Structure 1
Amino acid sequence: MERSTSPLRTNPIKGELRGHLYRMLEQAMACAGIGTRQCDPFEDRGDGVLALIHPSDHVPKTYLLSRFIPELSRLLVEYNLGLPPDEWPRRGLRLRAVVHAGEIHHDRHGYFGEAIDVACRLLDARPVKKALQGVTAPLVLVVSKEIFETVVKHEYDGISMATYQPDVRLHVAGQRRQGWLHIPTEAMELRACEPLASARALRRFSPEADHSAA
């Protein structure tokens, strides 16, 4: 969440924004056919959320990019446009998001693993923060090499590879990692999404039902 530590954002306002964020996440996930059976309970990160989606034919990775992210962006645009101009500094809501896939571990303290390390480092990379600062769009997405190579470059379900730029480079766990930046710009033109509730619906609309999200 951008500017989460701003002195204008009192604790009650932070509580409001967290409520809006969780509502939008749940609505955007329903748009992509992601329910409680396909996703672990959200892990709260204070000014962010970790959502772990199970690898399943019911939830192809394609839909995270072609339905979830556009719907989340649309909801953010709708919310921000509804604010009085003088409330923008306190209640405006803009996000950085990351999509990655990999193995996740869990113990009584929570989730951990290299895949989470990679996702968090990509999300917090300087180019991603600068990208959000430099646009009026309410959301900037970064995807990992794994997501780019298995989903984006094949342009499944109307995804445009040309809208993803390889502008993020960093080292994690001794390896050089690359991320691709994407700024949804069509949110103002999108209508509310009709939630997908079944694997049948996913297969009917997706050319890559063998893909899964993690």
Structure 2
Amino acid sequence: MASTEERAVYRLVVCGDVKDSGRLNLGAKLRMRESLYQVFQDALDAVDVGPEQVDVVDRGDGLLLSFEPGVPPALIAGVWLEEVRQGLIERRPVLHDRLRMRLAMHQGPVSHDGRGPVGRAVDLACRLCDCDPARRVLDASDSDLVLVVSDPFHDAVIADSVGERFVEPEAYRPFRVSVKETDEIAWFRVPGLPVPPDLTGGGGTGTAPGGAPPAADGREPGAAGGDTERDLSRYRIDVHDGDSTVVSARTIEGGLTIKHGNRSRRGGQQR
């Protein structure tokens, strides 16, 4: 068979997976798949993305999309995502079971071998879609949709898209994802909620005693390797004197000592 592999091109990859599809009988699976395709196609139509601009691969209980470079990623992470959410809500009367989904987005070099997209960007999008924190956030939210984006995608697209419709950078929270060969920070959002819900227990999605969110790797503040040792060099750090400690994606407050090299600083402010 002749190879149809193409040179890798930088693309946005979206991986979608339906929750608990394995519990559905044949009739329910067929209804689910029909609704899934309809929701995604309606959302693509709403943002004027035609079939020549996106490659769609069937994954049985989900879809894998790779977009042409000319499609703005913020459009997909914003308006398209909101259209998907609304579509899932509208399909509820058609289905005996709600169609609830995990979606993941990442961008990077992607090749095609004639059967579908290939590359590490595809692998990571699929890993994020299938990660345990995404499953737990979806379960706790009782929403129809949870989105996970990679850290590079968040920095390049989400954090830099203030003002873009429905992107909402403030609605994301970072947690560490460890699955197979993937061990890195990812960002979670539940469209329709101001922030993803807090969960107790491990996995990086709980709220520690005192109201402080856990470290991105799932450990509570004060645990070995927790907040005081976490690498926060990529974020702005504000430090204020005080007895309590509050950690968010952008701000740390409390009586902390921030160390850099052989120097340390306690209290005051640092930006």
Task: Please indicate the TM-score interval, normalised by the length of the shorter structure.
Answer: 0.7 to 0.9
The residue type equivalent to 2:169 in the other structure is M
Residue 137 of structure 2 aligns with an amino acid whose one-letter code is: A
Q: 1:61 to 1:157 in 2, by over 3 A?
A: same
Are 1:105 and 2:111 matched, yes or no?
yes
Residue in 2 that maps onto 1:34: 49
Q: What's 1:170 paired with?
A: 178
Does the Cα contact within 8 Å between 1:32 and 1:63 map onto a contact in 2?
yes
Give the Cα–Cα distance (whole angstroms) in 2 for the partners of residues 76 and 168 of structure 1: 28
Paired with 1:109 and 1:66, the residues of 2 have a C-alpha distance of 29
Aligned-partner Cα distance in 2 for 1:160–1:106: 32
d(CA) in 1 for partners of 2:180, 2:120: 9
- The match for 2:219 is none
2:20 corresponds to 1:3: yes
The letter of the residue matching 2:171 is: T
Deviant stretches of 4+, over 3 Å? none
Report the TM-score when normalising by structure 2.
Answer: 0.60
Assess, with a 3 A threshold, how the Cα gap between structure 1 residues 98 and 38 changes in structure 2: closer, same or farther.
Answer: same
Matched with 2:84 is 72
**TM-score (normalizing by structure 1):** 0.75
SS at match of 2:27: helix
Q: How many residues align?
A: 174
Change (3 A) 1:156 1:180: same
Match of 2:190 in 1: 183
Q: Secondary structure at the match of 2:67?
A: coil
Instruction: Find the aligned partners of 2:47 and 2:176 in 1 and give their Cα distance.
Output: 26
Larger radius of gyration: 2
Query: 1:93 matched to which residue of 2?
Result: 99
CA distance in 2, matches of 1:146, 1:33: 26
Q: CA RMSD in A?
A: 1.9
Q: Distance in 2 between matches of 1:151 and 1:109?
A: 28
Spell out the pairing of 1:1-214 with structure 2 (5 A cutoff).
1-6=18-23, 9-40=24-55, 42-56=56-70, 59-80=71-92, 82=93, 87=96, 91-154=97-160, 155-158=162-165, 159-170=167-178, 176-185=183-192
Percent sequence identity is 29
Supply the AA of the counterpart residue of 2:45: A
Unaligned runs of 5+ in 2: 1-17, 194-271
